[in-house]
């Protein structure tokens, strides 16, 4: 049996239990909204409409001390479940698959470049990359008490807002609201880059290519934050072209 087939079987088996747990979490805690998982709205109080119920705040000398708006470990896992098993997570890899099929790596074997089998392999690769990235990011965030949400800039200057989007991939916030190295972003990029070594064709299953894949994922990490930062402008743009009805669907997670 080929390595790719074995990897797919192992991934499928490993996914069954998380799916069951995710469904149980979602049923048990329906109050954590998609909006609460996406960004921290600094303009509202501790029980703002986009925030999950506040966690119990530990003593101030505890490393896990948090502000009232922080997501606790369970809420982060619920957010992980919401993102992982929602339809956008299944649709997004199609774009990466299309790119690989149109511009395949030069040394890829035929079964990775031509036919339906190649489409399935490349889609499975893109889906696995995203899943590993997401799992690494949320798991490390839970362990390190790192906030998984994006904090929009309080500055109205365009350049300052762009800088906030980019810098957040390097230094985000802790559960206490303080700046900290975005270790979860790096952990997710590393997981997404190196998981391919388990099944990719020979010549692409090495540390060098894994590092390149990780670097690409790290460079792409600010893109979701870009949407949340400039949601008000995007909403106005859609209204200007008379398709404002799409706003609630496209920007549900960053409803500003």
The pLDDT tens digits for 150-188 are 998 888 899 999 999 999 999 999 998 899 999 999 999
Is 174 in a helix, a strand, or coil? Answer: strand
Compute the residue count for the chain: 256
Instruction: Render pLDDT for 131-145 as a digit per residue (tens, 0 to 9).
Output: 999 999 999 999 999
Among the residue ranges 144-153, 196-205, 246-255, the one predicted with the least confidence is: 246-255
Instruction: Render pLDDT for 53-89 as a digit per residue (tens, 0 to 9).
Output: 333 344 433 333 345 567 888 888 888 888 887 777 8
Paired strand residues for 239 = none
């Amino acid at each position: 049996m080929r390595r790719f087939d074995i990897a797919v079987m192992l991934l499928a088996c490993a996914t069954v239990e998380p799916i069951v747990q995710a469904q149980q979490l979602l049923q048990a805690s329906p109050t954590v909204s998609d909006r609460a998982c996406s960004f921290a709205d600094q303009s509202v109080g501790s029980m703002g409409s986009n925030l999950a119920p506040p966690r119990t705040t530990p003593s101030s000398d505890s490393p896990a001390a948090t502000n009232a708006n922080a997501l606790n470990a369970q809420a982060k896992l619920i957010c992980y479940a919401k993102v992982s098993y929602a339809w956008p997570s299944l649709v997004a890899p199609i774009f990466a698959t299309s790119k690989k099929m149109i511009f395949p790596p030069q040394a890829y074997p035929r079964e990775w470049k031509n036919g339906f089998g190649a489409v399935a392999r490349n889609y499975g690769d893109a889906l696995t990359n995203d899943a590993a990235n997401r799992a690494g990011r949320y798991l490390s965030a839970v362990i390190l008490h790192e906030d998984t949400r994006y904090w929009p800039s309080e500055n109205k200057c365009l350049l300052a807002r762009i800088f906030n989007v980019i810098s957040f991939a390097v230094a985000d916030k802790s559960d206490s609201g303080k700046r900290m190295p975005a270790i979860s972003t790096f952990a997710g990029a590393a997981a997404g880059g190196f998981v391919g070594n388990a099944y990719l064709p020979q010549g692409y299953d090495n540390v060098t290519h894994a590092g390149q894949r990780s670097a690409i994922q790290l460079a792409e990490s600010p893109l979701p934050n870009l949407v949340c930062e400039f949601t008000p402008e995007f909403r106005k743009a859609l209204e200007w072209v008379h398709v404002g009805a799409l706003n609630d669907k496209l920007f549900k997670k960053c409803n500003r």
